[in-house]
Structure 1
């Protein structure tokens, strides 16, 4: 709801000089909360954040100003008598959210400046998302200026009452692990020591820091999440930008790699040194004053250049920030999951679980020059094999293009272009996807020669050697429109899924490209560019989706230098989180997918699995049970394959397809539900569960570092459970029980619990595993995996029961059947 309690707007009869005409109570909210701004006496104040269910007001009276920034050398804030309320608009989003935009105009020396506060809320939950926009009536009239040689921009800022509670907890998602255990030799592929810290295997991982507050001393954290307790509530905050740690540019000799390999990744050149502080753009601050806590979001660097003009033709925008008031007993992980799945984006397709195949693993396995393996004949064969595996998306990786930056099909390897491959994928019902090194460019290209200013250069004026020793282009300048045209053309050719690689921290310092001129220092231009990159990449995704609504983009975050580890890209797309099945990156355990599984094991408390992808090798079949182990690693997160499918047999591919179809059947019902994880990587056991208890569906996978036995109970409404695929089980009054037996080190098990659609038909137990279950209004079809005894309960009132195998009717009306391995049976009734 949006409420504007103003006599002037409602009646239109009062003069503009009256007190009533100058006071506007601007309230948004739902049944759970209300948030109110008061525009009165030419000031703007945040006066209420009300927990309606408990009747509790969270904000302190007379709190700090809602916003503050420096313009034309003077600091202004919302509490100064400089603002006239102008208008309110409302926009309904596809995700159920509503954005209410309040516009204010400047008074006195700020006349001609417009400030707009965007405030987003949803039909339920105490959740508020906000952004501030500035626009000038005439170009060059107002300029954002530094204070003490630093950006000065704060928005929003709230002062909470009765907030002398526990210490705030910072939650980071962008810490990159580089630690190597003493004595570890990465050259030894057989180093499989169990104490290997898989959190440091070539990936970003979360970090949690508790901050003790001192009276009156500001505490600034990187986040992007911060949990702030008060006496009565817990406030969860976030901001949507980049927030990487330990993501330094790699300083290497300027060499050219003759062979294409992952060792040639990274940024090489006479680099500007980068520290964590250089990559800290936004901070969340907390200051304690007695029983009050003031929370604010501050631009630390790169938010604007000193003297940068506030635009007249478009808006200057801050990042979005959020506040969630957690319900009593609500887990912060649940609030974060809801936010990242549904509230940060209205692109629902980017959250759908799809199983995909990427050609890069095949290319690595097939040729010393990986790009040369990408031929029409070879990829057409790979498409046919991938279709046998039942994948949903097929991604053309590096090698399809003419050269880096010329994003047209290679004339020799793909003489007929992409069309035959895209058409083949469409016939198989598979979505075509494609890889791009978004900013990479071959310096021999005409566009590179025509626009040398686009190419990012080091201190000596030489192009950085970026991914695979190609230069990279500055995305903030005119290159943006060029790459957008390339992407649109690819969607015209049928591409609907993009993998954008190598968006690194390049430290672009070129003047005249939208992030500074010769009047600004090299450091200022670099900071502005690095701050703007998440905006431009996210905008690129948004404009591409506006052109083709069913496009999904994933951002590759598999290297330490990646610039987009943060929340902003999740407004439109998702993350590719782990590289190359962990090959060559320090995971020398029995199965290299351990470090990939760590992606979800470590991050699921902050990033739901639906926003993460990674890929495993389906062709690995040794040592014991490797294919099953790899496959189970991607069932509940990742959902990706890459590898040499020609090395698989038809029975391998049938096995993969059968497992994928079972997982897909369950994921339809459990996707977006909490992922319960018990046990860290290598534990005995280590289990993963997503369930929809009220529907009777659950997806369960388990791994064990050593031989062991374990009993797993899955709490479900057992009346809704049809049965369990892939594992023997029993049921009781409140769920399903699995007796797991892990026969060898690094063994794995999986189970797919399927619901009965409230039909009343239930298989109460199975002594062996079931391969298939299907129901129609008056029949049940079963295919066993091995010899099993089944206990079946029919719908109430079922009569004239018939089966095509012998069965026994018990005194309680249930049935008992025995099936041999791979036997099919049908039970019917009236």
Structure 2
């Protein structure tokens, strides 16, 4: 076996061999353990062609990326198909992180085409041997849990019977290990489980084949020099240690190395107007947009500043019409100039709501791009109302409309000073038009629909990357608060998620309501219940930093509610919404003081691996977020049951700290914090280590 190319960092070494069963390897440099990754294969002209290479060369000089990685491009001609070239584009962290990110790029020099002889995708991304790893697990990113009306991470062990019976797993992550060395493989795409576009197929000889299911390419697609076929980005890792060590490495990779758009990883505190707009509609029987105006917005910004909020987000209604995305002259006669000036004076950022898939009927966007309207069954989609503004048409993101929309966002960032873009209502399916970029008349409606759904998330990430390349300070988040959206790893390569909106509706729990007249939202009021729902998806935080899953908590009085909201927020979800000016002076002061302390240590909390004792909603429910590097962070304890509870930290915290009432903190001989909390009512108690200067440990 002749190694054709190699590179390394402090943790792993990569070797490129070009063989079918041993296309490339990743070796843990600490233990010397190696994992051989099998070659990809593509169906072309009806024949499945495994990629085997006899020689490779670096096709470009290594590139230093802006996220602490180096990108390499190596490739060569495929043995037995000398007109086909494969390139391996791989990004390797420059430090000791074990996770690499890569994709393949296929080019045909003589017009060969990708085909689907049996009417289905035939594309193999990799073969993963697990003979040396007795333990394996599927990590599902996109399981929509109706109980909490949110996507949640679920971990499912894979046993021998799963391999023997040829079961499949959607992932997108697969982990394996033997207790001393741990491995990971993942793909960057997205869809709600179990609607797989890519899957892992288990085989009786304890191998796993990552393969296409649908939409990965079009029948007859020609990967020529102008438009080579690029696979989705893939990820792999191998390191000494157990699953906890692997999870910590992977979490750090997602935080530091997956994206070039680093602003999306910063723990800003966000306010969004939507909850207040819903209160107007449902409690006060007003319209959603009645208080979407300059006077109210300036009043809210003042209150938000008192509370320490960094990003103020105007939800739907700030615009004149969708598509053109011009500021409403009726609601903001000066085009948001005073809003931006007020925010700038407070050091705050401006955010705006968008539905990227719509344009008003009379908008310039709709007039310029009529061919980009979505169609199904041979008929163009009909207009529909958008939140008390002009009726709009749905537009296809897998068409030239995507670049036009990206240009609008760049204009807004530069002309209006928008720093944050909230994307909402992007359903994964919806277009099968043969004149767009996801199929032609010769393709079936189903193939065009699947291709649209597959390419949609890739189009979204390209829009964000184009925007952030022009305006690096910008953040984009994608609202996945409803099912049927493209939830997965792909969007995290460009932005972040808006995870929980209102939470479950009454009809989630089979409560009979009149949907025309009754309030839908269950967890809409102050108290512990909303926190139970919103903290449940914190199970992502083991593998994915919670800062990437924006969730809003209610700041309403009384104090116990504010403590529960603050304790939840500082675990990383970082969102507040509600009626800010209605919060008492004492409440705004409390929130502002805690936020000022939190900001001293929020970077430490963001990088910290989570520890949890007790179930969400239990007594007690304990969350520990202490940086192993600095000892700074937080311990938050919730309970709805009165009593006294004790907790000993697993980490070694900083010796300086601040805490809420009802808390005493001592230090044991090993340096761990011994925390005792007293509850008389449902509330939260927390300790911020490394924040403030007034309290030190007593032994």
Checking the alignment, whether the CA contact within 8 Å between 1:707 and 1:742 is kept in structure 2 is yes
Structure-1 residue corresponding to 2:697: 764
Structure-1 residue corresponding to 2:142: 174
Structure-1 residue corresponding to 2:633: 698
Secondary structure of 2:593's counterpart equals: helix
**Equivalences for residues 105-116 of structure 1 within 5 A:** 105-106=77-78, 110-111=82-83, 113-116=84-87
1:571, CA displacement in angstroms? Answer: 0.7
Structure-2 residue corresponding to 1:476: 398
1:89, CA displacement in angstroms? Answer: 3.3
Does residue 656 of structure 2 align to residue 722 of structure 1? yes
Does residue 307 of structure 2 align to residue 389 of structure 1? yes
Q: Distance in 1 between matches of 2:504 and 2:596?
A: 25
Instruction: Check 1:48–1:407 CA distance in 2 against 1; reply closer, same or farther (3 A cut).
Output: closer
1:446, CA displacement in angstroms? Answer: 4.1
Structure-1 residue corresponding to 2:351: 433
**Equivalences for residues 541-580 of structure 1 within 5 A:** 541-562=464-485, 564-580=486-502
Q: Distance in 1 between matches of 2:484 and 2:614?
A: 30
Secondary structure of 1:236's counterpart equals: strand
**Equivalences for residues 189-204 of structure 1 within 5 A:** 200-204=147-151
Does residue 580 of structure 2 align to residue 645 of structure 1? yes
Structure-1 residue corresponding to 2:275: 361
Does residue 561 of structure 2 align to residue 591 of structure 1? no
1:372, CA displacement in angstroms? Answer: 3.1
Q: Distance in 2 between matches of 1:703 and 1:488?
A: 43
Does residue 353 of structure 2 align to residue 416 of structure 1? no
Q: Distance in 2 between matches of 1:628 and 1:84?
A: 59
Secondary structure of 1:426's counterpart equals: helix
Structure-1 residue corresponding to 2:91: 120
Instruction: Check 1:27–1:162 CA distance in 2 against 1; reply closer, same or farther (3 A cut).
Output: same
Q: Distance in 2 between matches of 1:591 and 1:677?
A: 18
**Structure 1 length-normalised TM:** 0.75
Q: Distance in 1 between matches of 2:632 and 2:368?
A: 58
Structure-2 residue corresponding to 1:809: none
1:662, CA displacement in angstroms? Answer: 1.2
Q: Of 237, 246, 249, which residue of structure 2 is paired with 1:324?
A: 237
Q: Distance in 2 between matches of 1:136 and 1:419?
A: 52
Q: Distance in 1 between matches of 2:696 and 2:76?
A: 64
Checking the alignment, whether the CA contact within 8 Å between 1:617 and 1:641 is kept in structure 2 is yes
Structure-2 residue corresponding to 1:285: 201
Q: Of 426, 431, 435, which residue of structure 2 is paired with 1:512?
A: 435
Structure-1 residue corresponding to 2:16: 37
Structure-1 residue corresponding to 2:512: none
Structure-2 residue corresponding to 1:612: 549
Q: Distance in 2 between matches of 1:399 and 1:587?
A: 24
Secondary structure of 1:667's counterpart equals: helix
1:586, CA displacement in angstroms? Answer: 4.0
Q: Distance in 2 between matches of 1:104 and 1:137?
A: 13
1:734-776 deviation digits (Å, cap 9, x = unpaired): 13222101112x322122122699xxx97334xxxxxxxxxxx
For these two proteins, the number of residue pairs brought into alignment is 669
Checking the alignment, whether the CA contact within 8 Å between 2:5 and 2:56 is kept in structure 1 is no
Task: Out of 410-419 and 597-606, give the one that drifted further.
Answer: 597-606
Checking the alignment, whether the CA contact within 8 Å between 1:145 and 1:306 is kept in structure 2 is yes
Q: Distance in 2 between matches of 1:109 and 1:119?
A: 23
**Equivalences for residues 652-691 of structure 1 within 5 A:** 652-691=587-626
Structure-2 residue corresponding to 1:352: 266
Task: Out of 484-493 and 464-473, give the one that drifted further.
Answer: 464-473
Q: Of 673, 685, 693, which residue of structure 2 is paired with 1:749?
A: 685
Instruction: Check 1:376–1:325 CA distance in 2 against 1; reply closer, same or farther (3 A cut).
Output: same
Does residue 220 of structure 2 align to residue 307 of structure 1? yes
Q: Distance in 2 between matches of 1:36 and 1:148?
A: 35
Instruction: Check 1:153–1:415 CA distance in 2 against 1; reply closer, same or farther (3 A cut).
Output: same
**Structure 2 length-normalised TM:** 0.89
Gaps spanning 5+ residues in structure 1: where? 6-22, 179-199, 246-275, 766-790, 792-830
Instruction: Check 1:135–1:372 CA distance in 2 against 1; reply closer, same or farther (3 A cut).
Output: farther
Secondary structure of 2:124's counterpart equals: strand
Instruction: Check 1:330–1:756 CA distance in 2 against 1; reply closer, same or farther (3 A cut).
Output: farther
Gaps spanning 5+ residues in structure 2: where? 506-519
Secondary structure of 1:377's counterpart equals: helix
Structure-2 residue corresponding to 1:211: 158
1:582, CA displacement in angstroms? Answer: 6.2
Structure-2 residue corresponding to 1:102: 74
Q: Distance in 2 between matches of 1:447 and 1:668?
A: 41
1:428-450 deviation digits (Å, cap 9, x = unpaired): 11011111111122223343245
1:410, CA displacement in angstroms? Answer: 0.7
1:235, CA displacement in angstroms? Answer: 1.9
1:548, CA displacement in angstroms? Answer: 0.6
Instruction: Check 1:160–1:652 CA distance in 2 against 1; reply closer, same or farther (3 A cut).
Output: closer
Checking the alignment, whether the CA contact within 8 Å between 1:476 and 1:513 is kept in structure 2 is yes
Instruction: Check 1:466–1:513 CA distance in 2 against 1; reply closer, same or farther (3 A cut).
Output: farther
**Equivalences for residues 196-275 of structure 1 within 5 A:** 200-213=147-160, 218-229=166-177, 233-245=181-193
1:621-646 deviation digits (Å, cap 9, x = unpaired): 25x72232223221212211111112
Q: Distance in 2 between matches of 1:333 and 1:162?
A: 20
Q: Of 282, 286, 289, which residue of structure 2 is paired with 1:371?
A: 289
Secondary structure of 1:604's counterpart equals: helix
Secondary structure of 2:290's counterpart equals: helix
Secondary structure of 2:602's counterpart equals: helix
1:497, CA displacement in angstroms? Answer: 1.1
1:312, CA displacement in angstroms? Answer: 2.6
Q: Distance in 2 between matches of 1:389 and 1:48?
A: 51
1:396, CA displacement in angstroms? Answer: 1.4
Checking the alignment, whether the CA contact within 8 Å between 1:283 and 1:298 is kept in structure 2 is yes
Structure-2 residue corresponding to 1:145: 115
Task: Out of 49-58 and 734-743, give the one that drifted further.
Answer: 49-58
Instruction: Check 1:482–1:308 CA distance in 2 against 1; reply closer, same or farther (3 A cut).
Output: same
Instruction: Check 1:470–1:741 CA distance in 2 against 1; reply closer, same or farther (3 A cut).
Output: farther
1:682-722 deviation digits (Å, cap 9, x = unpaired): 1001111111356342312111121121012235556x512
Q: Distance in 1 between matches of 2:242 and 2:537?
A: 24
Checking the alignment, whether the CA contact within 8 Å between 1:695 and 1:755 is kept in structure 2 is no
1:321-379 deviation digits (Å, cap 9, x = unpaired): 12222422341432331232123223322111111111122222335211232111111
Q: Distance in 1 between matches of 2:80 and 2:243?
A: 47
1:107, CA displacement in angstroms? Answer: 6.5
Instruction: Check 1:212–1:700 CA distance in 2 against 1; reply closer, same or farther (3 A cut).
Output: closer
Instruction: Check 1:328–1:447 CA distance in 2 against 1; reply closer, same or farther (3 A cut).
Output: closer
Q: Of 50, 70, 89, which residue of structure 2 is paired with 1:77?
A: 50
Which of 1 and 2 has greater Rg?
Answer: 1
Structure-2 residue corresponding to 1:814: none
1:642-665 deviation digits (Å, cap 9, x = unpaired): 111121233221111001111111
Checking the alignment, whether the CA contact within 8 Å between 1:621 and 1:627 is kept in structure 2 is yes
1:526, CA displacement in angstroms? Answer: 0.4
